[in-house]
Structure 1
Amino acid sequence: MVTEHRFSGRIAGFGTASGTRLVVGIWAESPLGAFTDVMMEDAAGHRTLLAPNDEVAAFVSATYSFDEVRVVPVTTRRVDGGLAVTAGDLSVRMRVGGLSTLGRLLRVVPSLVATHPAWLRVIDPVASRLVPGVHTAGTAGGGRREFYGVTLIRDLDGVEATRAGESLGALTPLHPPVRFGFGSAPPAPSIVDVVTTIRE
């Protein structure tokens, strides 16, 4: 029997001049309720999950690969021009820009089609060629299958990120790709509206 989990929300991905790359999931609807989590890979390749509770930590760490999992207070709030996220000693303020070129193209595809696993399986080879490192379908941890259905892409025009009070440096492309799962967030700093479907 196949169990399907659907997560609807946003994913922000970007790099910093320190070499730390971050992927922030802001989930409005999910089997675990509304929550925000942060996946972080530093310049040395150390991968850390910052999760708001044990349930989220267990599910996410069973789906993706990390060297360290930490349960910490995680909050998200709207600020002038964008969003602010705090996760333990990490603080991120993102300035959200306009639709990217690819984001405008995605609006042509109806949402029900754009988020359906059958469609995402078919377009995966095209997506990986259009945006290096990105996949729309693949195998996750624990024998799970995962599908990313992006419906909108906005540029990130600026990011201020600190950890333990120290700046992570200026906003940069997300490069090299992060290694949490079968695919990475896009290299261009962005925030996407997405429906993630996980089957097990």
Structure 2
Amino acid sequence: MNWEAIINIVLLALLVVITLGILRLRNLFAVVMLSGIFSLIMASVFTVLDAVDVAFTEAAVGAGISTILALSTLALIDNRREKVPSRLRFMPLLVSVATGAALLWAMGGLPPVGAPDTPAQQHVAPYYIQQAPQEIDVPNLVTAVLASYRGFDTLGEVAVIFTAGVGVMFLLGTLPAIGARPRRRKEGEEE
């Protein structure tokens, strides 16, 4: 067994343990913290899978901004414990199990990871490798793909991160509200 497989198994086991912890806990602060840790581990998974741009977005939005927003929300509420449901509901559990079974069944039709005969390896990747130097004239192939061929996708990711960051700054009070007038200082008040 190679190291990459061991790392993948350890990361998957951590994700399962954290998920079970989130399901069992009633303390909302602990749930928010575990959710942030879950996002950081998912960012690690994306890094292992060589999807560094997705890992960066997951770390920034999932672990960073979402955790700050959830903690800000918790600071505004009185009860920080989840209410225990009065009865067990089987329909959501049934839907989740059926969806999981359908996804596992569908995975059987996918090609192995990294197989050279997949459509992405047959058509998309060779096109990028052959045409990027002539069409875009950017020496780095990854930059050419992210900035040109996938430009709208990258722009969307950046817009999401920027919007979330501005929203958090508004919530934390580090940016004034739009159209708000600055507070006038009274005489003798220090800056």
Q: TM-score range by the shorter chain?
A: under 0.3
Structure of greater relative contact order (alpha carbons < 8 Å, 6+ residues apart): 1
Structure of larger gyration radius: 2
Normalised by the length of structure 2, the TM-score is 0.22
Relative to its length, the structure with more helix (as a share) is 2
Normalised by the length of structure 1, the TM-score is 0.22
Relative to its length, the structure with more strand (as a share) is 1
